[in-house]
Amino acid sequence: MTTSPRTPRSRRERPAKPALTRDGIVAAAMEIMQAEGLQAVTTRRLAQALDTGPASLYVYVRNTAELHAAILDELLGTVDLRPSGGDWRDRLEQVLTSYALVLFGHPALAHSALVTRPSGRHYIDLIEALLALLDEGDVPPGQAAWGVDLLLQFATALAAEQSARDEGIDAQDQWDALSRALHGVSGSAHPHIAARATELLSGSPEARLSWSFQMLINGVLHTPIPRKEGQA
């Protein structure tokens, strides 16, 4: 008994691929990040997942850095921009802490944010919320504008630093070595360290983060920006 060869399936009979959209690209990128890590999120890997060519993605994202920024902006949608309780400083700290926790949860993105900031709708909403709280505290506009940049840079850099520490297999050994060094200094050679060795290493990460934000917020409030030349 002979059989006829199978007729090749026409391209027209195959299911059509979903049309590419920026939201769809970002959603696929987030799936790759969650499964394989941020380092796997490249335009080539993403094109493979979407069954398309890298060139097709460049219409929506120009490069990997922009893709990472888009992922971060999507995650910023989880930042709590409507805190409750306390005065404007307390609520500002709550927003900044929420932002920092997002980065602590995805520390590799903090490295990207240091060089390529997001510019999507969630990042814009975050800036608006911070400015509104600073305005509630009667912070002068110029100081508020510069202060937002400083506050976000601090939280981003802190998360990036934490990422580097977490990746170090000898992080605890390094901490122990620092503790021994500080407590073992000569009181005559380094009297200030000897007197404050315990304080230098004290405080929980949460307490230090809260203090840092409050210190920076008060600094923004009380530190005028430099005047331009010729400005009265």
pLDDT in tens, 52-67: 998 999 988 888 888 8
Residue type at 66?
A: E
Count of helix runs (H) and strand runs (E) in the chain: 11, 0
At 80-99, the pLDDT tens digits run 999 999 999 999 999 999 99
At 75-85, the pLDDT tens digits run 999 999 999 99
Question: What one-character-per-residue DSSP string does 24-79 give?
Answer: HHHHHHHHHHHHH-GGG--HHHHHHHTTS-HHHHTTT-SSHHHHHHHHHHHHGGGS
Tell me the CATH number for domain 78-222: 1.10.357.10
Pair 93, 217: CB distance under 8 Å = yes
Dihedral-angle region of residue 37 (phi above 0 means left; psi in -120 to 50 means alpha; beta otherwise): left
Average pLDDT of the segment spanning 112-137: 91
Write down the pTM of the prediction. Answer: 0.82
Average pLDDT, the chain: 88
Measured distance CA(149)–CA(133) in Å, rounded = 14
Residue 91 CB contacts under 8 Å (≥ 6 apart), including other chains: 83, 84, 85, 133
Show me where the domains of the chain are located: 19-62, 78-222
At 185-203, the pLDDT tens digits run 999 999 999 999 999 999 9
Fold entry, domain 19-62 = Arc Repressor Mutant, subunit A (1.10.10)
Residue 148 CB contacts under 8 Å (≥ 6 apart), including other chains: 127, 130, 131, 134
